């Protein structure tokens, strides 16, 4: 049996190598999942590492735990102000869109490869959800952002479509193992899971913010530990009640991230790091689980299924769902292309292995191959397609301010950053003459990559980022002071 020292050495070495190689390939736009999975495969029994690992139960456990933290972290950094106007189309894509993709692809797999319809639908259900984390890591590496509402739509869709894929996969497995079950039972199970997940997630989101602001811990490091235990408990209780724990955790993340609570910035940094650790551990473990020689046997079917998924099933579902919303055809085409597959399908592919489904090994290898194909083909062509469809925009770098503000109980004060627009009425004027509310203070100005400690005589320039300590009731007044004049019309 391997010693704990050896286990820690191997684990830490794999993580460090993963981080180093990810940094090395950062500017090439290679999806991180490809790098981490590749390292797992190289470390495996058929690679130079020679580590034999064939435990789908442990792999599934690692994947589920990792997804809890990844989804919570994603929700924590989702700005409700950006996504609330696209909730409806994102929700339809995450439910009806995933369902249509699975049904279309399932019938294709069953017909072309002469498999039973339930097996075809099971494979399609497993690979029906998307992974936006891979998309945005590629865009960031190329310094590309997306115009309009595409980016928040993709973020919200990918963060909320995993529960649908989980439900479809579990439902198909139940139908295969228990032929006496019928479709109405599965539909009822879906609404039960989603309903319980949403309700538990909502109340847990309210509770965690309440406790964070009411419990005064002596040590700052206790806050993220408390949050970690709380979200794991939320997932467990939801799952125990037969609800969607992934949906509940994602909702808790969104509600927490869009609320004020003690040590918020520190908690966001903690869970961002934890999400990265979770991704590395999950992908490396899944890479260890696969045997490359077995992938060679599914190249033909894998390429055919991936092609149908990328060029037919995903576009059909996207155009069908978004037909009821005001998106241009170029935006729909790009959203269709951004259907990259990631961690969730590989984790779900372990479910048939554990359940003892016939042809489970073949299903796992096909899903694994499709995920790799999707990441490579769709991932590397993402920037040129965004440019071709004229949907790319320069990325706006996030400013890291040298100061933080942690609100205390019953305070109405926030530390908010405002950008001075190009045609702002405040451009060229001193802070002292702008008439800011008495309970508002400009504590820092960020200009040309440098911070300026302002005084009443400091003159503002277009593009300045102002860090203002402001009463929440006066935020709109600050926006009015900094608002744009009507720009001149070129004649």
**CA distance to 108, 109, 126, 365, 446, per residue, from 112 (Å):** 6, 5, 18, 18, 59
Q: Report the pLDDT averaged over residues 446-471.
A: 85
pLDDT exceeds 80 at position 236: yes
For residue 142, what pLDDT is reported? 59
For residue 490, what pLDDT is reported? 45
| 442 in Cβ contact with 467 (< 8 Å) | yes
| Same domain as 214, residue 352 | yes
Residues 89 and 317: their CA atoms lie apart, in Å, by 12
Read off the pLDDT of residues 277-317 as tens digits, 9 standing for 90 and up. 988 888 888 888 888 888 889 999 999 999 999 999 999 99
For residue 403, what pLDDT is reported? 66
For residue 329, what pLDDT is reported? 92
| Same domain as 220, residue 105 | yes
| Same domain as 385, residue 300 | yes
In a domain, 491, yes or no: no
For residue 391, what pLDDT is reported? 85
| Same domain as 277, residue 377 | yes
**CA distance to 66, 129, 149, 155, per residue, from 126 (Å):** 18, 8, 28, 20
- Which residue, 364, 394, 424, sits at the end of a domain? 394
pLDDT exceeds 70 at position 406: no
Q: Report the pLDDT averaged over residues 322-342.
A: 89
Q: Name the more confident of 254 and 137.
A: 254
Q: Report the pLDDT averaged over residues 120-144.
A: 76
Q: Which residues contact 216 (CB under 8 A, 6 or more apart)?
A: none
| 56 in Cβ contact with 288 (< 8 Å) | no
Q: What is the domain extent for residue 440?
A: 413-481
CA dihedral 23, 26, 30, 35 (to 10 degrees): 10
Q: Name the more confident of 199 and 453.
A: 199
For residue 141, what pLDDT is reported? 58
| Same domain as 426, residue 383 | no
| Same domain as 333, residue 262 | yes
pTM for the structure as a whole: 0.80
Confidence of residue 489 (pLDDT cuts 50, 70, 90): very low
For residue 144, what pLDDT is reported? 63
Read off the pLDDT of residues 249-276 as tens digits, 9 standing for 90 and up. 999 999 999 887 888 878 888 998 998 8
pLDDT exceeds 80 at position 171: yes
Confidence of residue 137 (pLDDT cuts 50, 70, 90): low
| 440 in Cβ contact with 470 (< 8 Å) | yes
- Which residue, 394, 422, 450, sits at the end of a domain? 394
- Which residue, 330, 360, 394, sits at the end of a domain? 394
- Token pair, residue 355, equals 């359940």
What are the φ/ψ torsions at residue 445 (nearest 5 degrees)? Answer: -120, 130
- Token pair, residue 452, equals 């300026």
| Same domain as 445, residue 364 | no
Average pLDDT of the chain, as a whole number: 85
Read off the pLDDT of residues 409-436 as tens digits, 9 standing for 90 and up. 556 777 788 888 877 888 888 988 888 8
Number of other CB atoms surrounding residue 443 within 10 Å = 15
pLDDT exceeds 80 at position 93: yes
């Amino acid at each position: 049996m391997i010693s704990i020292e050896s286990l820690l050495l191997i684990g830490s070495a794999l993580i460090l190598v993963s981080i180093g190689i990810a940094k090395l390939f950062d500017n090439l736009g290679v999806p991180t999942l490809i790098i981490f999975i590749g390292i797992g495969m190289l470390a495996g029994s058929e690679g130079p590492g020679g580590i034999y690992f064939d435990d789908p139960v442990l792999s599934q456990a690692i994947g589920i735990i990792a997804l809890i933290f990844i989804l919570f972290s994603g929700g924590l950094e989702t700005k409700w102000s950006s996504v609330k106007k696209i909730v409806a189309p994102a929700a339809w894509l995450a439910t009806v869109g995933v369902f249509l993709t699975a049904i279309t692809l399932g019938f294709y797999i069953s017909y072309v490869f002469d498999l039973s319809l339930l097996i075809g639908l099971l494979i399609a259900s497993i690979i029906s959800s998307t992974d936006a984390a891979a998309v945005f890591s590629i865009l960031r590496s190329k310094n590309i952002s997306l115009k309009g509402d595409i980016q928040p739509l993709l973020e919200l869709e990918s963060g909320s479509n995993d529960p649908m894929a989980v439900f479809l996969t579990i439902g198909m497995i139940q139908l295969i193992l228990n032929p006496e079950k019928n479709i109405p039972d599965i539909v009822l199970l879906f609404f039960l899971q989603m309903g319980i997940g949403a309700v538990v997630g909502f109340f847990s989101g309210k509770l965690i913010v309440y406790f964070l602001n009411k419990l005064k811990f002596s040590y700052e490091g206790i806050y993220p530990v408390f949050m970690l235990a709380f979200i794991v408990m939320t997932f467990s209780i939801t799952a125990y009640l037969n609800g969607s724990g992934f949906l509940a955790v994602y909702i808790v993340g969104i509600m927490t991230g869009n609320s004020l609570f003690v040590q918020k910035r520190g908690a966001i940094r903690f869970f961002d790091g934890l999400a990265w650790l979770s991704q590395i551990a999950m992908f490396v473990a899944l890479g260890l689980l696969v045997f490359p020689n077995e992938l060679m046997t599914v190249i033909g079917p894998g390429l055919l299924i991936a092609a149908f998924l990328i060029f037919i099933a995903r576009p059909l579902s996207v155009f069908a769902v978004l037909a009821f919303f005001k998106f241009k055809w170029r935006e729909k085409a790009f959203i269709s292309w951004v259907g990259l597959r990631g961690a969730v399908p590989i984790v779900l592919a372990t479910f048939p292995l554990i359940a003892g489904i016939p042809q489970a090994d073949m299903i796992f290898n096909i899903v694994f191959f499709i995920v790799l194909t999707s990441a490579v083909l769709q991932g590397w062509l993402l920037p040129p397609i965004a440019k071709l469809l004229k949907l790319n925009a320069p990325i706006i770098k996030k400013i890291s301010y040298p100061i933080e503000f942690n609100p205390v109980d019953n305070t109405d004060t926030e530390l908010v950053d405002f950008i001075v627009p190009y045609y702002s009425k405040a451009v060229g004027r001193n802070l002292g003459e702008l008439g800011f509310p008495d309970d508002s203070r400009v504590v820092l100005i960020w200009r040309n990559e440098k911070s300026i400690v302002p005084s009443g005589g400091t003159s503002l320039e277009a593009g300045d980022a102002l860090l203002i300590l402001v009463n929440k009731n006066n935020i709109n007044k600050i926006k009015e002071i900094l608002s744009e004049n009507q720009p001149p019309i070129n004649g």
